[in-house]
Amino acid sequence: MDSYLLIARAVLKNSRQPLSARQILRAAHQLQLIPRELFGRTQHKTLQARLASDILNHRSKSEFYRTAPGRFYLRARQNDGLLPMRYRHEYHAPLRAAQLGRFDVVAFPRTSFATFNERGPGSISLNKLFSLPWRFMRLHSLRRDARYLPLRFLLILSTDEQLLIDNRKPLVQDGDFHSRSSVGLEGYVKASDLSLFSGDQFGLIDAAMRTLLEAFDLPRNVVPTLEDADRWSAPHPIIDNDNQSTDLDLITYICFRCSGIDPILNAIEDRSTAEWVPAPITVNDLTRFDKWSARLIGDVNLQRSLCT
């Protein structure tokens, strides 16, 4: 086992509650568990990354599990009768939760879109989208059922006439987003996103706000700012059926203007894969982007209508 994980296991065995990576290292120093080869260069971020990777790679077989963002405990004690109930529930990080797909999302029958666009990509009005038959389905079931399409979106972030590009390669196994750079953040509209205060029958903006909070682990006091309707564009759905209903795809573009919101801007600055580029985006090589980001980049008018 990795030296960092051995340290975490030893510390958590002596702890009656979950700890953060920083707390684990502090306790390890107090218990004199830091080996000579790591002393002086052990960092809590490295430990947290090792724990997160172990959970991601080994899933339920990992010795560790999350009880909350950034807090870890031993799986062997998950059902300990002396452990408070709030620590027994495993928290799945947003990326991990998306991989598992154990949540209900809005889904449409593919056949409902076949007559809207006979060839190539094209817009569909929100009113028309809302009028189509739909249902809630588990995301992991949708991945095996070609008859339905999930309602997903691409959340574009803008500030000072710039748009965010994420150059990382997310570890998701769904759609075209798993292996290419993206303009913004991908998300799904979950059943839990809809509330009495939602502006539409699905909770599209609510889903985008949740995705933003999860992606950057934002504090809850940012929520009132996120609820400012003037910062949001109107959702813009696009369909593409390539003349074959079985290949039909659907995405909804949404833009959020995050100028002046320091928690978001600071989180983006800390992300090594994030890059602000002047709007409208113009690049020579669209092949490094996912299909829908490339579609957006190739349509300057769409960029302007969403983010200006």
pLDDT at 140: 83
Terminal alpha carbon distance of the chain: 51
pLDDT at 177: 45
Higher pLDDT, 119 or 138: 138
Over 80: is that where the pLDDT of 275 sits?
yes
Over 70: is that where the pLDDT of 120 sits?
no
CATH 3.90.79 fits 99-307, yes or no: yes
What Cα–Cα distance (Å) separates residue 175 from each residue in 103, 179, 207, 251, 292? 17, 9, 19, 11, 10
- Percent pLDDT > 90 in the chain is 30
- Does residue 90 contact residue 66 with C-beta atoms inside 8 Å? yes
Model pLDDT for residues 293-303, shown as the tens digit of each residue: 998 999 899 89
Phi, psi of 93 (to 5 degrees): -60, 150
DSSP-assigned beta bridge partners for residue 187: 153
Task: Tokens for 167, please give them.
Answer: 């150059």
* Count of C-beta atoms within a 10 Å radius of residue 19: 19
Q: Which of 257, 279, 179, 180 is closest to 212 using CA atoms?
A: 257
Mean pLDDT throughout 11-33? Answer: 91
Q: Which of 200, 199, 170, 167 is closest to 187 using CA atoms?
A: 170
Over 50: is that where the pLDDT of 172 sits?
no
The overall average pLDDT reported for the chain is: 83
Mean pLDDT throughout 158-179? Answer: 66
pLDDT at 24: 93
- Does residue 118 contact residue 243 with C-beta atoms inside 8 Å? yes
Residue type, 219: P
Q: Where are the domains of the chain?
A: 3-91, 99-307
Helix (H, G, I), strand (E, B) or coil at 78: coil
